[in-house]
Structure 1
Amino acid sequence: MRLKLARVMSTHASCLLRQNCYWRIFDRGPSLSRGYCYKNRTNPDVAPSGIHNVQSIRAKWAEHFKYRNVPEAEVSAELIVAHVLGSKTLAGIASWQIVSKSKIDRINELCALRLRRIPVQYVIKEWDFRDLVLEMQPPVLIPRPETEELITHIGNYQTIQDLSPPRRILEIGCGSGAVIISLAKEYPESFCMGLDQCAVACELTRRNAMKHDTALSVKNIEFNDTTVEGEEVFQSKYDMIVSNPPYVPTIDLESLSPEILQYEDVAGALDGGQEGLDVIKSILRNASRILTSDGLLWLEVDSTHPEAIKKLVEDNSHWNMKYIKTCKDFMNKSRFCLLSSNTV
């Protein structure tokens, strides 16, 4: 459940974000810039009058973000200015290009939102995930770059093992729809189902699926022992289950940045209980009941969790799950767990 940018942005903005670890959940952001003074500014939260070119507007807002201790000031300013100018980044826009007053006013409006520590994805109301441009809406969790790699690991494993495309795919906790829509694109003949306990997330997934002309089903259902027993959606078997469940230990939630604490769904999408394993355990307990005999379970988890998950499966053989492998993310951290149903 962590972080990214897509291919359109990967050559520039993605590099900036990844180098600065903007999406790391425990990143506190950059320190205050030194020596900057607003003594002569009547309203520092707008671009100064007389500044009309792209570079000057971007630079002034980046400087002000730093002064106000907004994380990733340079990247935030660039993405907002580029968005208003109809681009992903400023890479293809001349720095001396004159910006109209109406666009400057719009840049000021959006930057004022960023000053309130609203995540830039919510400010510009979209974000890239692989080759998808997805609508973003609070409090639905913003897709993190690591999650893009989950799709890559799934594809690589299917290819290396020479597996047939999964006929039925279930995502537990679909959020914005980034993962289930990507899988539906990869496997167009598969039946794809996304579940989320948040109604706003379900509606957002539906809109993003429609935007990308993707057929899938979405249900507003919380995954737990009771719903697995009673809900119709779990009465059919799935060849693959994918989940990026809440996995942050409750005690660590207070360390999250204001962007996350104030605007993302902390209780529903991040809080994983005392050890960060509450929802993960629920999935492990019930997975074999809704997987085919050789079905696969892919989990994105905290880097400290794979060994704990492996031991849980070994100590609870009645769960009928087999641990297959751990995959690393781009930071070389153990991020993804692959398990299979161990039923006869």
Structure 2
Amino acid sequence: MTTGDGDARGIARTADSLRCRLTMALRPVAGDDAGLEARMITEAATGLDRAALRLQGATAVRPAQLMVAETMLARRLAREPLSQILGSRGFWTLDIDVTADVLTPRPDTETLIDAMLDFVDADGRGHGYPWRVLDLGTGSGCLPAALLSELPEARAIAIDRSPAAARIARRNLDRIAPGRALVVVSDWASCLAATGCEAGAFDLILSNPPYIPSGEIRTLDPEVARHEPHLALDGGDDGLAAYRVLAPGIARLLRPDGFACIEIGLGQALDVERLLADQGLMTSVRNDLGHIARCVTARHAMSPAA
């Protein structure tokens, strides 16, 4: 791991010095997050967790550990997402396995879980109710995993059209909520008739669909444009292609007293609300912590609490 002023093999003799060297090397690609990324790489390379690194920063770093750090740094400097390098990403209260076959879970997407749990808390059936959950376009499975971790009697069907993504989702759900989730490879909800699901089958419906306009994908950060699956990004010419398919499916599959939550891109709230309203659903918009409209929630107009 050579930075501008020396070789880490000769300089980074301790965990603390390795972290410092990594921080300097990562600044061009990670900016203000360079220190955080350096700590995470140091932890992964040395096997020290955060508390141990803080207390045992003077621990000697072995050559093999330096080599691991060098390899990780080279991949990160090539703009590979840190989540793919480490193989996991924190989401909600969980560690989610991540590969190049799935989108890296974003903190903003936790807004959907907040909205779902607010509905559950206000609904009266409670966390112990056997909620039936559907996740359309599950990717890593982070959304149903987070929701099932909070709702101990809930069961989920998670759908993705990518077999590779479905394998990652299955791995995460089998670890986090064993026996409580079925992962299905399908194009949105077209397979549900074959699984015996009828109209109004689900209490809670989640989706984080692709919503980036096709022509804008190449303008995204290299970590996204080069390394994340375009199948999970590309929302068609205007970014709304997935919502046009999802809206009627959600209206059909959602129970009369159910609740749906769909992630949206910047500036898409009104269009997505209109598509859902055309299916007879009542909608509202939920902002993320950055005060940006992040998801549209939907309920049937005849719902008692609508």
With the length of structure 2 as denominator, give the TM-score of the two structures.
0.87
CA displacement at 1:49 relative to structure 2? 1.8
CA displacement at 1:129 relative to structure 2? 1.3
Give, in whole Å, the separation in 1 of the partners of 2:222 and 2:54.
32
Aligned residue for 1:54?
15
Give, in whole Å, the separation in 2 of the partners of 1:218 and 1:337.
24
1:288 equivalent in alignment to 2:251 = yes
Give me the identity figure in percent: 23
CA displacement at 1:166 relative to structure 2? 5.8
Aligned residue for 2:267?
304
Aligned residue for 2:73?
111
1:241 equivalent in alignment to 2:208 = no
> Can you list the C-alpha shifts for 1:224-252, whole angstroms capped at 9, x where unaligned?
6xx26854354361111110111112222
Aligned residue for 2:93?
131
Distance 1:230 1:213, change over 3 A: closer
Aligned partner of 1:99 among 61, 66, 77: 61
Give, in whole Å, the separation in 2 of the partners of 1:153 and 1:54.
41
1:277 equivalent in alignment to 2:240 = yes
Letter in 1 for 2:282: K
How many equivalent residue pairs? 296
1:223 equivalent in alignment to 2:184 = no
Which sections of structure 1, spanning at least 5 residues, go unmatched? 1-35
Letter in 2 for 1:125: G
Which sections of structure 2, spanning at least 5 residues, go unmatched? none
> Can you list the C-alpha shifts for 1:83-113, whole angstroms capped at 9, x where unaligned?
2233454763443332122211211122122
Aligned residue for 1:197?
161
Letter in 1 for 2:255: T
Letter in 2 for 1:51: A
Give, in whole Å, the separation in 1 of the partners of 2:256 and 2:112.
23
Give, in whole Å, the separation in 1 of the partners of 2:44 and 2:177.
24
Higher helix share: 2
Distance 1:233 1:78, change over 3 A: farther
Aligned residue for 1:330?
289
With the length of structure 1 as denominator, give the TM-score of the two structures.
0.78
Q: Is the 8 A contact 1:176 1:201 kept in 2?
A: yes
Give, in whole Å, the separation in 1 of the partners of 2:202 and 2:123.
18
CA displacement at 1:204 relative to structure 2? 0.8
CA displacement at 1:303 relative to structure 2? 3.3
4+ residue runs of structure 1 moved beyond 6 angstroms? none
Considering only aligned residues, what root-mean-square deviation do their CA atoms show, in Å? 2.5
CA displacement at 1:301 relative to structure 2? 0.8
Distance 1:111 1:220, change over 3 A: same
Aligned residue for 1:320?
280
